[in-house]
Structure 1
Amino acid sequence: MLQQLESVKSRWGGKSQVVDRWLMDRQALLVSFCELAGINKQSESLPDADEIANFCSALLDYLSAGHFEVFDILVEDDDEGLDLKDKLYPKLTKTTDAALAFNDTFAQAVTPEQAAGFDAALAQLGETLEERFALEDELIAHVHTNKRDPEVTL
């Protein structure tokens, strides 16, 4: 996911403050995800509750920014934009629902029963985020392909 992000940043970065800010937020979310997943760590213990809560908070902030601030800036209501919305928004909503379910399960104190399924749930969330980022990248490509430059600061 980080390599995909670097590719998107190198292709579209610097062309829009909105997109640049959003990609920076995505990068911070991915770094937090990797830390939570224990990538490059050799510990088999569950992350502490504060780490999980902080990640969930960052996840919700990222999702909210997409749905309530960025998506409508990236896609206008022209025929092509409306077609893209019809195609992508249901898929984006599905990824949002999956991420919200993760948050609802793990944002508060994790019970021993939940802890047993944490790694599998986090792995599934990683797949969901990868799918979501690919969909978001289609929105970014659309705005730049159509030579629109959203300069709204989030």
Structure 2
Amino acid sequence: MLEKCKSRQERWGGVEVVVADWLLERSQLLVKYCNLSATLSEGLGSASGGKKLKPAAKELEQFCQILMDYICAGHFEVFDLLLGEAEEFADGGVEFAANIYPQLEGTTVKALSFNDQYDGCAGGSLRSQGLQDDLSALGEIMSTRFDLEDNLLEQLHYRHQSQVA
């Protein structure tokens, strides 16, 4: 029995590290989002809007990179680990995840579409107003996604911490 507890701690302790790293990446994504949004707002408010788009293009490139890193880490690492944890504890988490995943997939498709449209625009073909509108829409989508992810974390991971400790 002690061995089973140790292996559970080791297994789910690793999940904790992955989740913590992923949430740190989420924070970095939000910082990049705010930086890009601020840069675009400054560019629209000035007479030299074209000059302001060069920093925006660099911010956009960095934002798209971390957006894709975050989305991929969620889908190809974190969600799989959470589902494994749900299967291990067999307390309704798998069914809960099955209801959440399609909604997450919808936000993923929209984030990928944003990336496809804007990644690689560092060369200069940015239209500030269109990007700002699209970024605002993406912000709403990401807010929805973060809520869904937080629900997954709560139901599939955090509720089991006392059982693992």
Q: TM-score if structure 2 supplies the norm length?
A: 0.72
2:148 partner SS: helix
Instruction: Tell me the residue number matched to 1:92.
Output: 104
Tell me how far apart the structure 2 counterparts of residues 100 and 133 of structure 1 sit (CA, whole Å): 16
Tell me how far apart the structure 1 counterparts of residues 120 and 69 of structure 2 sit (CA, whole Å): 16
In the alignment, is residue 145 of structure 1 matched against residue 153 of structure 2? no
Tell me how far apart the structure 2 counterparts of residues 148 and 128 of structure 1 sit (CA, whole Å): 32
Give 1:4-153 correspondences, 5 Å limit: 16-38=16-38, 42-44=42-44, 45=49, 46=53, 47-75=55-83, 76-77=86-87, 78=90, 80-109=92-121, 111=125, 114-142=127-155, 143-147=157-161
CA 1:117–1:42 in 2, change beyond 3 Å: closer, same or farther? closer
Percent sequence identity over aligned pairs? 38
Residue 43 of structure 1, CA deviation = 4.0
In terms of fraction of residues, the more helix-rich structure is 2
Opposite residue 61 of structure 2, the aligned amino acid is: A
Tell me how far apart the structure 1 counterparts of residues 107 and 163 of structure 2 sit (CA, whole Å): 26
Unaligned runs of 5+ in 2: 1-14
Residue 147 of structure 1, CA deviation = 2.9
Larger Rg: 2
Tell me how far apart the structure 1 counterparts of residues 111 and 143 of structure 2 sit (CA, whole Å): 12
1:146 partner SS: helix
Q: TM-score if structure 1 supplies the norm length?
A: 0.77
Residue 20 of structure 1, CA deviation = 1.4
Opposite residue 144 of structure 1, the aligned amino acid is: Y
RMSD of equivalent CA atoms:
2.4
Tell me how far apart the structure 2 counterparts of residues 136 and 102 of structure 1 sit (CA, whole Å): 20
CA 1:79–1:118 in 2, change beyond 3 Å: closer, same or farther? same
1:125 partner SS: helix
Opposite residue 147 of structure 1, the aligned amino acid is: Q
Tell me how far apart the structure 1 counterparts of residues 154 and 142 of structure 2 sit (CA, whole Å): 18
Higher relative contact order (Cα pairs below 8 Å, separated by 6+ residues): 1
Q: Deviations over 1:106-150 (max 9, x none)?
A: 1122535x5441111000000010000001101111211133789
Opposite residue 33 of structure 1, the aligned amino acid is: Y
Opposite residue 137 of structure 2, the aligned amino acid is: Q
